[in-house]
Amino acid sequence: MYFYQKSVEETLVELKSSRHGISLEEARRRLAENGPNELQEKKRKPLIAMFLEQFSDFMILVLLAAAVISGLIGEFSDTVAIMVIVVLNAALGFTQEYRAEKAMEALKNMAAVRAAVLRDGVPLVIPASELVPGDLVLIDAGMVVPADLRVLESVRLTVEEAALTGEAAPMEKNIDRLPDAALPLGDRKNMLYKGTFATYGRGRGIVTATGMNTELGRIATMIQAGEEAKTPLQKRLAHFGQHIAIAILFICAAIFFMGLLRGESAVNIFLVAVSLAVAAIPEALPAVVTIALALGARKMVNRNALVRKLPAVEALGSVTYICTDKTGTLTLNKMTVEELFVDGALLRNEKSNNLSNLQSLFFTALALSNDASKDNKGHCLGDPTEAALLTAAHERGFEKQVLERIHPRVAEVPFDSARKLMTTIHDRAGSGGQDSGSSLKGNYVSFTKGALEALLETTDKLLTSEGPKPVDRESILLIHDRMAAEGLRVIGIAMRVWDRIPDANPPIVESNLTLLGLAGMLDPPREEAKQAVAECRAAGITPVMITGDHPLTARVIARRVGILEVDDPGAVITGKELEAMPRDEFEQRVESIRVYARVAPEQKLKIVRALQDKGHFVAMTGDGVNDAPALKRADIGVAMGITGTDVAKEASSMILLDDNFATIVKAVREGRKIYDNIRKVVKYLLSSNSGEIWTLCLAPFLGLPIPLQPIHILWINLVTDGLPALALSLEPEEGDVMNRPPRSPQESIFARGLGGYTVWVGLLMAVVTLSVQAWAIHIGDAHWQTMVFTTLCLLELGNVMAIRSERESLFTQGILSNKALLFTVGATIALQLMTVYVPALNPVFRTQPLSAFELLIAFVLSSIVFFSVELEKLIQRLQKTA
């Protein structure tokens, strides 16, 4: 028998559970027995495979073959040196890749889904992977169903099951048993399935299956997790790498044949050509990007930005619009009731003991029509709007718990942001069918509260001390506007009495209501929001507010945080106006709009589309189920970590752990820095490779012998290029990161002078190196090759110091501001000197000790590149200020 054929009681018995859930002890036991509630993923690559993969590059294999050949012909020191360098190279690549993978894994674990359960009757939030059969799970709108569940309770709980059944229309769930033995998944109305999600209402269910035993687990083999999406930069670099590889192979072939023609030893010239190919082909560039992005993402968590999709890190630097929610993002989401309108008077929210009957009824309504609760320490739990109202009532002695005993809730219509209303229905038997404030009689009472415009549409009377009177909408709206103009969120509350429990259907219960009063709540802006908005402006990013709140409230808050600079009436628009506006007209206006008020989440999609059509790169925040399409469509979907639903999180590429707008701006700053640093690493590696190629290519044309030995080339590639490049990715941000416009997402890697730099700096290095070679040979210096080797190495170190900033001089930037780089440069110089001066290393590196004068020449000449680049930057700065 299937669980859907059983009654709730039978299910509880079979699963040895109860309406309080199972005990912690039992949960632990069952977890050990059943294993974690996880789908088996593809097997991870074993570490050894990851290490061996480092050797799988074609050019490395050729090099290894060449090493073996030189061994066979008796050049053992070459063989050993090449082997050592190749292994070191692999070890370096492996550690980097391993660190990046660990970083991504840690991020994935942080973003994992959590589940709310009852254990021993106590509500707990646990990682969804720890669920066991028999666990009692609480489900709310927006949550992903974490395991297969038999429904125990459903308050209009509605679930979208497209992932399993293909049926996109959400289905309402209930608890009734279904006797039919062969029901398809889509008809099992009393079951919830892992991987589907609740779109509306709330409920409880008992876990019937976890992990691979769930319906999702059964089909899990069909939904193998896809490959991580490549970032645009990774794609471009991979593409570029292929082209450059072919070019370099041609160059190396040319060097080989020219060497042969000039009568060089075939083995040696072959090794030179292969070493150059290994050194110059930038096959590691895409990996450099992945590692920099992954480690950057790992760091961003410390600043409360949790990246779910790696391409987002890179994309952050291109954002031109940030569309943000108001509540909780720009504001603290800590609401307090400031003003009340009840019994014909507008009053500040101050404690007073003599409440009129009508005021008492008003506070009773606030307490009862409320989903927040107080814990035993007196802290409010639940939605801040609800909590504020609960507190206001509580402070005057209207305690929800006490009142609920007299007027138990018998039915409800949950809040949703499209209706902007919620309703609760209560039994009045406990008070003899009447309450203190109203003369209205009936066995049941419903309270409806929400946005005033929505409420007024269903309200025809106002309750006064003389009883209900026809409501004067104009004057109520005037009072509302006065409160909203102070930045308050205004909620109206209304009631209706019934003889029988009404159908909990909005058109029925939310009709012919009688207004009780208004409550205005203040939600102060976050202190850091204003600064963050200003930072956006300076960085060429336009912040836009999208809120469900009233336009007046939204406008005031937007002014306070600086999103609205001037009181331009055209800059604020409501959801209704947006709805009515044709697409063309909206696209014309979209760039001048700063505040969208009373917007339904579905409309966010229209806003993203219009901005993207205008060529903008949009970051969009969201928290609810209905935000998911806009989050997916945005260039960077940003979900709220605290208030966000699972659905919003799964649709997003980044999660704000603190829900704070300022965190988005910090993430943009970090993203720009990471991109800058990737660019610097690419610039360094390419210009260094270019220097090596030019040197080896041009030498024969100048009638010079091969300037470098294979081991020199490999050494320069591994040590001189590799180590400083690592440290370059730790470069602190440049002074102007947030004072320049966003980078175009289409920008090529060679943009902003990088291509030209690679060519001219490479050429300059070759000129210096070959001059040293020509001069040394000319004066009959026997150490010329060691001088060439040392000069080229030092030239590259000068290059890395100059590359640290794209615009600033090293001296204003501060030589000490990247200590890791300074350390690697020092270490590289020391290593280089060891290859020259440690006698045991001389035969391995084919070097001879240099005299002090020779070393001085190498040092002095190698500073040429550094000073030339600094000069170029100086000229650019002067041109800019002129």
Q: Which residues pair with 345 in a beta bridge?
A: 342
Query: What's the angle, vertex CA 756, arms to CA 755 and CA 757, rounded to 5?
Result: 90
Query: H helices within 514-566, ranges in order?
Result: 527-538, 551-561
Binding region for ligand ATP (CB under 6 A) out of 33-41, 82-90, 544-552, 659-667: 544-552
Query: In the bound complex, what is the minimum distance in angstroms from residue 618's beta carbon to ligand ATP?
Result: 17
Is residue 149 within 8 A of residue 195, CB to CB? The reply is: no
Give residue number: closest CB to ligand ATP: 548
Could you say which of 148, 549, 627, 670 contacts ligand ATP (CB under 6 A)?
549
- Position 396 contacts ligand ATP (CB under 6 A): no
Query: H helices within 169-265, ranges in order?
Result: 215-218, 232-261
Could you say which of 213, 357, 373, 417 contacts ligand ATP (CB under 6 A)?
417
The nearer residue to ligand ATP, 518 or 793, going by C-beta atoms, is: 518
**Percentage helix, strand, coil for the chain under 3-state DSSP, each rounded to 5:** 50, 15, 30
Could you say which of 130, 160, 314, 386 contacts ligand ATP (CB under 6 A)?
386
The nearer residue to ligand ATP, 493 or 800, going by C-beta atoms, is: 493
Helix (H, G, I), strand (E, B) or coil at 18: coil
Binding region for ligand ATP (CB under 6 A) out of 378-386, 647-655, 668-676, 716-724: 378-386
Query: In the bound complex, what is the minimum distance in angstroms from residue 450's beta carbon to ligand ATP?
Result: 4
Query: In the bound complex, what is the minimum distance in angstroms from residue 601's beta carbon to ligand ATP?
Result: 7
Q: For 119, left (φ over 0), alpha (ψ -120 to 50), or beta? A: beta
Total site size for ligand ATP, rule CB under 6 A: 18
Binding region for ligand ATP (CB under 6 A) out of 229-237, 547-555, 573-581, 778-786: 547-555
Could you say which of 320, 385, 653, 720 contacts ligand ATP (CB under 6 A)?
385
Is residue 464 within 8 A of residue 358, CB to CB? The reply is: yes
Q: Which residues pair with 64 in a beta bridge?
A: none
DSSP 757: H
Query: In the bound complex, what is the minimum distance in angstroms from residue 422's beta carbon to ligand ATP?
Result: 5
Could you say which of 548, 551, 644, 700 contacts ligand ATP (CB under 6 A)?
548
Query: In the bound complex, what is the minimum distance in angstroms from residue 348's beta carbon to ligand ATP?
Result: 20
Is residue 510 within 8 A of residue 458, CB to CB? The reply is: yes
Q: Catalytic one among 78, 135, 148, 325?
A: 325
Binding to ligand ATP in span 301-340, by CB under 6 A? 325-327
Give the C-alpha distances (Å, rounded to integers) separating 510 from 456, 474, 497, 696: 11, 21, 12, 84
Helix (H, G, I), strand (E, B) or coil at 469: strand
Is residue 854 within 8 A of residue 783, CB to CB? The reply is: yes
Query: In the bound complex, what is the minimum distance in angstroms from residue 152's beta carbon to ligand ATP?
Result: 25
The nearer residue to ligand ATP, 325 or 670, going by C-beta atoms, is: 325
Query: In the bound complex, what is the minimum distance in angstroms from residue 456's beta carbon to ligand ATP?
Result: 12
Binding to ligand ATP in span 424-463, by CB under 6 A? 449-451
Structure tokens at 568: 């331009």
Binding region for ligand ATP (CB under 6 A) out of 152-160, 546-554, 662-670, 847-855: 546-554
Query: In the bound complex, what is the minimum distance in angstroms from residue 391's beta carbon to ligand ATP?
Result: 14
Distance between CA atoms of 629 and 605, rounded to whole angstroms? 7
Query: In the bound complex, what is the minimum distance in angstroms from residue 490's beta carbon to ligand ATP?
Result: 7
Distance between CA atoms of 495 and 509, rounded to whole angstroms? 10
Task: Give the type of residue at 556.
Answer: V
The nearer residue to ligand ATP, 188 or 550, going by C-beta atoms, is: 550
Query: In the bound complex, what is the minimum distance in angstroms from residue 317's beta carbon to ligand ATP?
Result: 26
Is residue 465 within 8 A of residue 517, CB to CB? The reply is: no
Q: Each residue of 207-231: b (16+ CB within 10 Å) or e?
A: bbbbbebbbbbeebeeeeeeeeebb
Give the C-alpha distances (Å, rounded to integers) separating 752 from 538, 748, 808: 21, 9, 15
Residue 290: which of 108, 112, 98, 111 has the closest Cα?
A: 98
Could you say which of 400, 420, 609, 649 contacts ligand ATP (CB under 6 A)?
420
Task: Check if 325 is active-site.
Answer: yes
Distance, CA of 386 to chain centre: 29
Query: In the bound complex, what is the minimum distance in angstroms from residue 579's beta carbon to ligand ATP?
Result: 16
Query: H helices within 73-131, ranges in order?
Result: 76-110
Distance between CA atoms of 587 and 623, rounded to whole angstroms? 25
Residue 244: which of 286, 206, 200 has the closest Cα?
A: 286
User: What number of other Cβ atoms are within 10 A of residue 396's Cβ?
Assistant: 19
Binding region for ligand ATP (CB under 6 A) out of 348-356, 382-390, 405-413, 841-849: 382-390
The nearer residue to ligand ATP, 286 or 525, going by C-beta atoms, is: 525
Structure tokens at 288: 């450099």
The nearer residue to ligand ATP, 398 or 684, going by C-beta atoms, is: 398
The nearer residue to ligand ATP, 244 or 361, going by C-beta atoms, is: 361
- Position 561 contacts ligand ATP (CB under 6 A): no
The nearer residue to ligand ATP, 164 or 361, going by C-beta atoms, is: 361
The nearer residue to ligand ATP, 514 or 862, going by C-beta atoms, is: 514
Distance between CA atoms of 855 and 203, rounded to whole angstroms? 79
Is residue 388 within 8 A of residue 521, CB to CB? The reply is: yes
The nearer residue to ligand ATP, 384 or 691, going by C-beta atoms, is: 384
The nearer residue to ligand ATP, 545 or 772, going by C-beta atoms, is: 545
Binding to ligand ATP in span 272-291, by CB under 6 A? none
Query: In the bound complex, what is the minimum distance in angstroms from residue 180's beta carbon to ligand ATP?
Result: 39
Distance between CA atoms of 700 and 698, rounded to whole angstroms? 6
Q: Which residues pair with 517 in a beta bridge?
A: 342, 493
Binding to ligand ATP in span 465-504, by CB under 6 A? 489, 491
The nearer residue to ligand ATP, 136 or 509, going by C-beta atoms, is: 509
Binding region for ligand ATP (CB under 6 A) out of 200-208, 414-422, 705-713, 801-809: 414-422
Binding region for ligand ATP (CB under 6 A) out of 86-94, 542-550, 769-777, 780-788: 542-550
For residue 44, with 0-12 CB atoms within 10 Å meaning exposed, 13-18 middle and 19 or more buried, which class applies? exposed
The nearer residue to ligand ATP, 133 or 520, going by C-beta atoms, is: 520
Binding region for ligand ATP (CB under 6 A) out of 40-48, 288-296, 383-391, 656-664: 383-391
Give the C-alpha distances (Å, rounded to integers) separating 9 from 1, 5, 154, 363, 802: 15, 12, 15, 39, 75
Instruction: Look at the block and give the residue holding tokens 């005031």.
Output: 556
Could you say which of 383, 435, 635, 721 contacts ligand ATP (CB under 6 A)?
383
Structure tokens at 337: 């009731």
Could you say which of 51, 55, 94, 415 contacts ligand ATP (CB under 6 A)?
415
Distance between CA atoms of 149 and 147, rounded to whole angstroms? 6
Could you say which of 446, 458, 547, 813 contacts ligand ATP (CB under 6 A)?
547
Distance, CA of 473 to chain centre: 45
Distance between CA atoms of 587 and 649, rounded to whole angstroms? 28
- Position 422 contacts ligand ATP (CB under 6 A): yes
Binding region for ligand ATP (CB under 6 A) out of 38-46, 80-88, 379-387, 436-444: 379-387
Helix (H) or strand (E) holding 512: none
Query: In the bound complex, what is the minimum distance in angstroms from residue 414's beta carbon to ligand ATP?
Result: 9
User: Catalytic residue numbers?
Assistant: 325
Name the site residues for ligand ATP (rule: CB under 6 A). 325-327, 383, 385-386, 415, 417, 420, 422, 449-451, 489, 491, 547-549
